[in-house]
Structure 1
């Protein structure tokens, strides 16, 4: 490891462009277990309102930390709980507690999970209900359930789910959808949802024969073929960018050739390159942060300061990434899209029995990712339920992750969600 990098890490010079590390050090943000899940708690522990947030595809609790701080600060009497699904515990984060995680993950090898259990939506919602009931504290606190991307889909599924005769929406005081949802919410991306009964049967048969975890993010980014490859790479790049942002990049030369920057870069420059500038940057991991300078360092002149992205993605625990996303969960969430008790839902044992009865206030936000289909879908949900009122907001300039990381004075999500939460 570069001596300057090691010195910076040891001395605690861990931030650039802001005071996020000092804030973290002075703020008690416990990360606790609730049965088989974990929850990051941000804000007033004596709050009478708890916002429970669920991540989307490959997402994990630390991806909400910056947003949670902003929401808690702007909404007195509110605490934010960011949920890690049970499969988040499968990641081997040991290397991020060493002085040289690149060697641990790229050279020595790391532990891959031996577990092959198919984790689907039913297990996910049973776990989430434990969190929601804990947050409610026997009805003493309001609970607002929300999510980002497929986490928004999960929140809507919870509201319509039948938990042994009790509809999920009766546990809630509000719903928050951040760039996700049901009924064609993701149609603007141009992807197809394969959820007919015949397609579901074929996907289940394929699942029974092979790998239980998705590899789509790794393959899509060109960072490898293993389910965890992309998550490890992004977390590694963020780790070095967080600790020694302006030092020459430790990892640029080790990236697949087609992903390497066009000139030497700093650690921060490489992170900015991957989340914004690289050819084929994954929309699922994109932000509007700035630009790569002629000297290879990152120039922050966008809505999302790179230090906020670096701190969150660096982790290590909790992480911004769920390394092992279950294929069964993808199948189930695709089947949720019609938001009805369809033949496919019945085939999968999805208890979406109360979609028309949901009757809590709803907030929906969209970025430019899906070209308007997010809010169109949210309006459909409102029209086909008993939701009494809804707030719709968005910012077409944003990429998919900007609502989670943008500076609060430039974040339309924060500006519009805070009043919604205050009015509940």
Structure 2
């Protein structure tokens, strides 16, 4: 998801709210269709350079949606704490709308640190909430101090080159939130003398970007030299993982909130109309005051009507007005079943990244000016080709940043050689709506598809 809540962290700073995500599954026939669709959507590992992590960590994954015969690959990068399953539903809608496109959703190497084996057991909540899973100990994770933007872009280039299939396919690179920022830095990056944008046919920015794209959120970019020194010092002292999500109140580990999210999704997908399995185990401050279904719990945690921050909410519906156990009623653009389908995961790929490196947060903040500054150079950030950018640009913004996504992108275009740009806005959407909204109500799908079709023409 993006540079989300309190500081570009898809949910940070929420201290008094409920917990999590649940998922609605359809009837058995629908489940069968979902399983068959997943079989046609492989989750593929790709070997990448050594990063000093544990065994098996030197690889990334891509979720492939659409035909291998497609002549254009759209590579999408998730935002902060986001993962490949953010894009599965959007990818399906785009592939249906634009023949000749395959979508590759990128999972960073950090995904290898998560222990999701409990979702293959009969008792996932016991496995995770009773402490039987393998947690990644920050004290044993000094390697993560080096997993910043440079590491991510080197890994991403492996994906872009694989998607290009030896130059036989066009590659469009995009992302959501901080994933859009990552895509822009890739385009300007110097890869041993070769600009990143030469690998690309176009760029797609979904509610994110550079040059102050997030200013309208009121969340400042912490990239003064003093702030950067302090943040790097904290990483050197062992704070290698970003703990923004721990502010939700679901536990103090880097992965605690994400585990709750995926658990809730898993149970709601299995039994959307059943009484919430997890509600009794929630902290008192986060527990709904009356019984809700698994789908109802998800709705209270993600719907904008419950007062959640724009970054982590969608326009879905409301709880039923009555009932011994209250269920969910869809009235908005994003049916709770679609949120559930994404949040439940497979268990892999998932929507949530459990271990976001703090160094990545520092680097992305420093990259925001989109310039070869002294500070950027000191961190090894090779933003040498911002003025040379010469590929088409698609920009989509929701109500989230109050217009600064598009205004910042216009600055990029004015200072580069971008041949043309398309700017689209849906102020009726929140930050996550574009990922999960029904295709018939999703302005992103309806406007990105023609952009992609123009590239194919």
TM-score, scaled relative to structure 2: 0.87
The answer to whether structure 1 residue 154 and structure 2 residue 198 are counterparts is no
The match for 2:153 among 125, 129, 143 is 125
Distance 2:436 2:31 in 1: 12
How is 1:179-198 mapped onto 2 (pairs within 5 angstroms)? 179-198=207-226
The match for 1:345 among 370, 376, 387 is 376
Distance 1:16 1:152 in 2: 36
Q: Does 250-259 or 88-97 show the bigger shift?
A: 250-259
Q: What SS does structure 1 have at the residue aligned with 2:130?
A: helix
Q: What SS does structure 2 have at the residue aligned with 1:338?
A: coil
The match for 1:215 among 236, 243, 255 is 243
Distance 1:253 1:76 in 2: 47
Distance 1:284 1:405 in 2: 13
Contact 1:185–1:378 (CA<8 Å) still a contact in 2? yes
Distance 2:45 2:309 in 1: 31
Name the CA shift for 1:281/1:257 in 2 (closer, same or farther; >3 Å).
Answer: farther
How is 1:24-423 mapped onto 2 (pairs within 5 angstroms)? 24-26=35-37, 28-35=40-47, 36-113=59-136, 114-117=140-143, 118=145, 119-219=147-247, 221-276=248-303, 281-294=308-321, 295=323, 296-315=326-345, 316-423=347-454
* CA displacement 1:361-386 (0-9 Å, x = unmatched): 00000111111111111111111111
Number of aligned pairs?
A: 411
* Residue aligning to 1:15: 26
Q: 1:17 Cα shift?
A: 12
Name the CA shift for 1:147/1:277 in 2 (closer, same or farther; >3 Å).
Answer: closer
Q: What SS does structure 2 have at the residue aligned with 1:370?
A: coil
Name the CA shift for 1:369/1:314 in 2 (closer, same or farther; >3 Å).
Answer: same
Q: 1:226 Cα shift?
A: 1.3
Name the CA shift for 1:281/1:223 in 2 (closer, same or farther; >3 Å).
Answer: farther
Name the CA shift for 1:209/1:227 in 2 (closer, same or farther; >3 Å).
Answer: same
* CA displacement 1:80-114 (0-9 Å, x = unmatched): 00000000111110111112211111114311124
RMSD over aligned Cα, in angstroms?
A: 1.7
Distance 1:360 1:21 in 2: 41
Q: 1:19 Cα shift?
A: 3.6
Structure 1 residue runs of 4 or more that deviate by more than 6 Å after TM superposition: none
Q: 1:172 Cα shift?
A: 0.1
Distance 2:251 2:399 in 1: 28
* Residue aligning to 2:19: none
Q: 1:222 Cα shift?
A: 2.3
Contact 1:145–1:172 (CA<8 Å) still a contact in 2? yes
Q: 1:198 Cα shift?
A: 2.3
Distance 2:239 2:369 in 1: 27
Segments of structure 1 that go 5 or more residues without pairing to the other structure are 1-12
Name the CA shift for 1:307/1:15 in 2 (closer, same or farther; >3 Å).
Answer: same
Distance 1:347 1:20 in 2: 51
Name the CA shift for 1:197/1:262 in 2 (closer, same or farther; >3 Å).
Answer: same
TM-score, scaled relative to structure 1: 0.94
Contact 2:392–2:418 (CA<8 Å) still a contact in 1? yes
Q: 1:282 Cα shift?
A: 4.4
Segments of structure 2 that go 5 or more residues without pairing to the other structure are 1-23, 48-58
Q: 1:244 Cα shift?
A: 0.3
Contact 2:25–2:268 (CA<8 Å) still a contact in 1? no
Q: Does 163-172 or 184-193 show the bigger shift?
A: 184-193
